[in-house]
Copies of this chain bind each other. A is one copy, B any other.
Amino acid sequence: MRFLSETAVDGVSERLLALGDIPGVLWTPSDATGARPLVLMGHGGGRHKLDPDIAEPARRLVRECGFAVVAVDVPGHGGRPVDERYDRIATENQVRVAAGAEPAPLMARFQALVAEQTVPEWRAVLDAVQRLDHVGAGPVGYWGISLGCGLGVPFVAAEPRVRAAVLGHGGGYASGEAAGRIGVPVRFLVQWDDERVPRDASLGLFDALGSVDKSLHANPGGHGEVPAVEWDDTVRFFDRHLTTV
């Protein structure tokens, strides 16, 4: 892992990095020494690692909880090249939707395919970042909605270092089996008027989660809109589950 740049604002260090050819960003307290909880955040479709919906809560988790936060670009997103295979499938899916197919199940199957690549990538990111002295082998959290949920469910199911996760804005078409293997506390976000994920599919994914400690928060509004109160709640959720040893 190579660091490419560092800026620090209001006590938060933001370092761009590359793990092999995967571009990423690591946020930590500027004065951090020693191990601390680490949250990996997965961005939404068409977004990237420095999207405001990633960077702003990341800085809050650093400032308010003293955590480290890491995000990397998903294949075909942000600083990564176009992936011809994924691009071809996406184009085929657009054709199917134009011909009348339901978009949500197609999108979910596509995300499950991409997750076969991102799950090992993200595990390697944890390995590399946790080797840093000022991050260390502390408890890990995962945050991801929409695409970040489709990729996050198989990641959280596969990665025993993850102790708590915020997921949502996604359905259980392709990830129900993986969801059943998740046992850690989950906060699951639903947009009540989600125009992309049918409500039953959202509720079905929440149902499928194996966790005893899971809680669904539904708010009015369309796909991808997270009300401010849920960001406050996310910070408290990770603080509660990752700070206590």
Contact = CB atoms under 8 A, between A and B. Distances in A.
B216 A192 contact: yes
Contacts of A229: 215
Interface in A182-233: 190, 192, 206-207, 212, 214-220, 227, 229, 233
Contact of A217 (B192, B207, B212, B216): B216
Contact of A206 (B207, B218, B227): B218
Nearest to A199: B203
A241 to B, nearest CB: 11
A215 B218 contact: yes
Contacts of A220: 212, 214
A220 B192 CA distance: 19
Nearest to A209: B220
A interface, size bucket? 10 to 19
Contact of A227 (B207, B215, B227): B215
A100 to B, nearest CB: 28
Interface in A16-47: none
B214 A217 contact: no
B216 A218 contact: yes
Contacts of A215: 217-219, 227, 229
A191 to B, nearest CB: 11
Contact of A218 (B218, B219, B233): B218
Nearest to A227: B215
A206 B233 CA distance: 20
A195 to B, nearest CB: 16
A233 to B, nearest CB: 8
Contacts of A233: 233
Contacts of A192: 206-207, 216
Contacts of A217: 215-218
A168 B206 CA distance: 19
A209 B190 CA distance: 17
Interface of A: 190, 192, 206-207, 212, 214-220, 227, 229, 233
Given A214-B220, A218-B218, 19 more contacts: A190-B216, A192-B206, A192-B207, A192-B216, A206-B218, A212-B220, A214-B219, A215-B217, A215-B218, A215-B219, A215-B227, A215-B229, A216-B216, A216-B217, A216-B218, A216-B219, A217-B217, A217-B218, A233-B233
